[in-house]
Structure 1
Amino acid sequence: MAVRRIKPNILSNDFEASSRFYRDLIGLDGGHGLDWILFFGGEVREVQLSVMKLDVRAGVHADVSIEVDDLDDVHARCVAAGAEIVYPLTDEPWGLRRFFVRDPNGTIVNVTQHHE
């Protein structure tokens, strides 16, 4: 199992202000996405920041997203360890398979794998 990238998710109710800040002040590219999430980054895919409203499907905010190459393995290990699964293993219509798990500090982690 390998981690492909780690991406912070910032909760926002003001996409216009967030876009100005991350694009105009910080200098990130992007600011495009869906009506509930915007993506900012650099020239490489591994450098990305998400600004989002409350997750449209899960109904909770994940503080960080971690993309892995074997989601089933990570999910099975989390379940076996008794970790709290906050959002079940789901194939999303936008091309991700994912689940949310709460870490020991209370942080909600969105663990993802792109559909191949």
Structure 2
Amino acid sequence: MTISLQYCHITVNDLDESLAFYRDGLGFEVLNDVASGRFRWVTLGHSAEPGPELVLSEPHAGRSGADGDVLQELLVKGVLPMTVFSTDDLDATFERVRASGAEVLQEPTDQPWGPRDCSFRDPSGNMVKISQAPKA
């Protein structure tokens, strides 16, 4: 039996603004853009490289009003769990994301536990970390 991650949900305030970060800054492709009533879900990934896909949605999409309000409050506080990506060229990825206008939280840094990483906030305030494994 095998099991693998298929989707990772990221809650955002504005889907179009977030697309500029995840698509243009990080280089993901829009795989699906689905409307349902007044909400929509956008799925991003790499068509040539199957793997987990990101699903962007607003706090109230598919949730009760009360649950959406709580999620919105956590999003505004910037306390939702961070998302961590890996890359084989941290410096180039950092420059591409910074050029997209993203808020830099940490420039590329060698960590004492091994990887080299950097971090940003997406337009909704979610922390995004990008890591590069140590070179062997």
TM-score by length of 1: 0.45
Q: Which has the larger radius of gyration?
A: 2
Q: Considering fraction of residues, name the structure with more strand.
A: 1
TM-score by length of 2: 0.39
Q: Considering fraction of residues, name the structure with more helix.
A: 2
